[in-house]
Chains A and B, each alone.
Chain A
């Protein structure tokens, strides 16, 4: 399966709420169906991005973890 990543946000190291805030800001620049890749190390971001997805309706297309780095693919809802 091929997903086109529109933009990557490297938010490694940043604590709450910066990963969510920066992602929300980036989402405003995108159009429907664009996918943003977020890299974060904040452990809370796993639950926080789920909550963000629920609140905004923007789906989490994919979520994975590599060591201490959490990776999220977030799609702007159409």
Chain B
């Protein structure tokens, strides 16, 4: 297709300076709250779109968004099962840190997001995978909470520990969410 265009404004390309380190982004996702998980996914998909290598290390409550939405109660021992019952895994069950109102808050927030065409956490998670964002589940949290690899969604990196997360943070912009 060839179009003749009226030139309205031209912006010269800004080449990244050669001496600027092209660091990546590493996020430590500790929170399993809806708004923080949303922020993590928005920042990681955007950074990947800017051409940066991105790693997200999901630990403690932050691991629960990676539980498959079709999983019921998880855990091997009663305390882990109780924990899973009180804190259901999966992106569909993420609570808001405030104004949660037993899940009414997140439902309203998601409704607003749909109206404003803000991508949902589910869509952003798929995009993150497509863009090559490395999603690393914390092995220690999995053991502690009784979560197996089969409880988690596909497309994740191999579960790993703090050393892996810190190695990914070397020379990268690091956020603790």
Contacts and interface: CB of A to CB of B under 8 A. Distances in A.
Contacts of B130: 25
A51 B51 CA distance: 12
Contacts of A2: 2-5
Contacts of A23: 49
Contacts, number: 92
Given A18-B117, A56-B50, A62 B9 contact: yes
Given A15-B117, A63-B8, A52 B49 contact: yes
A18 B9 contact: no
Interface string A1-13: 1111100000001
B12 to A, nearest CB: 7
A30 interface: no
Contact of B16 (A1, A18, A54): A54
B8 A58 contact: no
B138 to A, nearest CB: 25
Nearest to A20: B49
A62 B71 CA distance: 49
Interface of B: 1-5, 7-16, 42, 45-46, 48-52, 116-119, 127, 130-131
